[in-house]
Chains A and B, each alone.
Chain A
Amino acid sequence: MFKEFLYLLRKSGLNVSLTEWVSLMEALDKGLHDSGFTGFYHLCRCLLVKSEADFDCFDRCFLDYFKGIPSQQELSQELLEWLEKPNSPMGEFDEQQAELNAQLSQAEVEALFEERKYEQREQHNCGNYWIGTHGMSVFGNVGMSPNGIRVGGQSEYKRAFRVAGERRFRDFREDSTLDIRQFQSALRRLRQFSGLVDLPRTQFDVERTIQDTAQQGGMLKIRYKRPRENTVKLLLLMDSGGSMEYYSTLCSALFQAVSKSRHFRELKIYYFHNCIYTRLYNEPMIDPKSSVPSDWVLSNLSEDWKVVFVGDAQMSPRELEGSYQGHGEDGPRCGLDWLHLFHRKYPHTIWLNPGDRPDWGEEWSHSYDTIASLFPMFPLTVEGLEKGMKKLLTR
């Protein structure tokens, strides 16, 4: 039954498996759709779709398959606005018109509706012809016709086609191909367990209990040990703004994965623009009011911190090697100097790059090559992240 629907869903990017499909068949067999189309729609949705982000995609497929309504034919925003009039007075009830309307079949109403959608140019309420509110026509909102199509407004009679047509879940779509979960799994690799962390002794220590008990001639001596804890401290430095805008979704996925990973002993995230200069910023907005001196980071975070740079490493040579205003006499003179300082202080550092090496213009590839020769560089993909994590652990 509806096998093509399964393939349509899969083709549209919904990861529906056979397990779920079989469940659906079983549910249909047991009559869980309440022999109704709305029931069928809900049943399909709650068994086949597992994230509200995919509801919209599902709605479109459902419409496509069961109705053949192409999704381009959406209602214009204007039309919906005309219909947002829930509290105006009712038009007059016309018994004759009601009888006429009642005779129209569903197909006829649909056809008329399509027709009006193209004809209608302005707001019409309380009437019996146009799409409008409080009237006698067979379409619109808060109307008095015994049958017809609801357009806009809060739905009361949740008929399947219309509910799907509302596409209420549009806001939840996330057209990101990369899964945060995949990133998280990659980040999980970044752990070094140690029992030397300063934690209360809560774990039962079998070895020492046996040993001490034996030494006391069988008198039980319970021993506890400190639980093993991840010791990795991570410093994430992200390029923000400018050419990085293009990769913002990817970077935000990484950011979310990192900030949701609770297994790091310590985690700090700072932002920079293009290259590191005197200050590192707390927010991606690059606001000097909320920033820390780069010096402070270098002197306060010990060298066992693992550092991950995220950036496209593309900038003009001036931004990398030109001296910037206000640099100290013997301090770092340019962005590259700062990168060298980080390189010297933190032996475990990698650079994640969301973009590729630019093959046009030496000006751009120059900065890329310079940075890649300083830090091991990995592409910001799941695979690249995994490799990078390995690199951070092994050196």
Chain B
Amino acid sequence: MDKFKGSQDYVVSEELMRAVNIAMVLQKPLLLKGEPGTGKTMLAEAIAAALKKELMIWNIKSTTKAQDGLYVYDVVRRLYDSQFGGDSVDNIEKYVKLGKLGDAFTHREQAILLIDEIDKADLEFPNDLLWELDRMEFYIPETGRTVKAGQRPVVIITSNAEKELPDAFLRRCVFHYIEFPDKELMTQIIRVHFSNLDESLLTQALNAFYRIRQLPQIRKKPSTSEIIDWIQALIHEGADPGQIISELPYLGVLLKKNEDIDTLRRNWR
């Protein structure tokens, strides 16, 4: 079995790497939680790229039903076909379209399935998928077919903790909480995005960034994607590294809420 060791443009902590490998060997879904902007979704892409497997993303919305991921039986289409002739409608199989989960099961090679933001869906949603994720198979009553995974896909589930997930579901997952990267890891991450970055600019920007994050008054803390955008802006406008901490140029890139910008300006010394 291949082992995941991080990829060229995604820096992982050792713990996360271990969790990914545990989930792959035990063939259990990996549940990722963490602050927004800690790269939960990116991880799946990185794994897929590193292991050279196909990535399938199932984006969950508040209206998503578990059934949508398995298959959809297009009754209306079949009715129309029967009325206006054309092909025969005896073959129901033709009107059964597999969802993302079904696609991942029937993929010829092992696939990576990302179930993104599972907490967005209904309270019952995770419970409805228990059997399917456990056995990696489901039954289509309309056609009498059982869809079974030839190669169990690597399942990665992300959650922003908007809703709590049911116990029965949690018990079947490998859990990892992505901590906000510390300075050291953040330096690595930034270096991956910017080669030849001015050393003093990086230190100053990082210092300012972590100081802002520590202020308790800030409602929406800036995250990794924000500091990357910020550094991009600083480089592009040729900001003077010496003035980053005192002036905080282009603050709007870091803080997205008006009241946060105001409180910061008031509390910044």
Residues on A facing B (Cβ under 8 Å): 15, 17, 19-20, 23, 26-27, 30, 32, 34, 39, 42-43, 46-47, 49-52, 55, 154, 156, 158, 168-169, 179-181, 184-185, 188, 204, 219-220, 222, 260, 262
Contact = CB atoms under 8 A, between A and B. Distances in A.
B218 interface: no
A181 B21 contact: no
B177 A39 contact: no
B40 interface: no
Interface stretch (B86-94, B162-170, B233-241, B258-266): B162-170
A50 B164 CA distance: 11
A220 B79 CA distance: 8
A180 B25 CA distance: 33
A158 B123 CA distance: 37
B171 A20 contact: yes
B123 A49 contact: no
B119 to A, nearest CB: 10
Given A39-B18, A220-B80, A220-B82, 18 more contacts: A30-B25, A32-B22, A32-B26, A42-B19, A43-B22, A46-B19, A46-B176, A50-B167, A50-B170, A50-B171, A50-B173, A154-B183, A158-B14, A180-B164, A181-B164, A220-B79, A220-B83, A260-B162
B184 interface: yes
Contacts of A156: 184
Given A27-B26, A43-B22, A179 B164 contact: yes
Contacts of B170: 50-51
A44 to B, nearest CB: 11
A103 B141 CA distance: 71
A119 to B, nearest CB: 31
A32 B80 contact: no
B199 interface: no
B19 A27 contact: no
B220 interface: no
A99 B164 CA distance: 53
15 contacts: A15-B167, A23-B26, A26-B26, A32-B26, A42-B19, A43-B18, A43-B22, A47-B22, A47-B174, A50-B31, A51-B175, A154-B183, A184-B163, A220-B80, A220-B82
A389 B162 CA distance: 23
A47 B26 CA distance: 10
B123 A188 contact: yes
B62 interface: yes
A228 to B, nearest CB: 14
A204 B176 contact: no
Contacts of B83: 219-220
Contacts of B18: 34, 39, 42-43, 46
Contact of B123 (A50, A169, A184, A222): A184
User: Which of B79, B170, B175 has most A Cβ within 10 Å?
Assistant: B175
A262 B167 CA distance: 21
A49 B164 CA distance: 14
B183 to A, nearest CB: 7
Closest A-B pairs by Cβ, 10 of them: A50-B170, A52-B177, A181-B164, A220-B83, A46-B19, A50-B175, A19-B171, A42-B18, A46-B174, A32-B22
Interface in B10-66: 14-15, 18-19, 21-22, 25-26, 28, 31, 33, 62
Contacts of B25: 27, 30, 32
A216 B76 CA distance: 18
A232 to B, nearest CB: 16
B172 interface: yes
Given A32-B25, A154-B183, A42 B76 contact: no
Interface in B143-179: 162-164, 166-167, 170-177, 179
A46 B183 CA distance: 24
Nearest to B164: A181
Contact of A49 (B14, B163, B175): B175
Contact of B33 (A34, A52, A179): A52
A156 B79 CA distance: 65
Nearest to B75: A204
Contacts of A222: 76, 79
Contacts of A26: 26
B167 to A, nearest CB: 7
A17 B173 CA distance: 12
Nearest to B19: A46
Contacts of B19: 42, 46
A381 B123 CA distance: 20
A202 B200 CA distance: 58
B31 to A, nearest CB: 8
A19 B163 CA distance: 23
A23 B28 contact: yes
Nearest to B177: A52
A154 B184 CA distance: 8
Contacts of A30: 25-26
Contacts of B79: 220, 222
Nearest to A220: B83
A290 to B, nearest CB: 15
Nearest to B33: A52
B142 interface: no
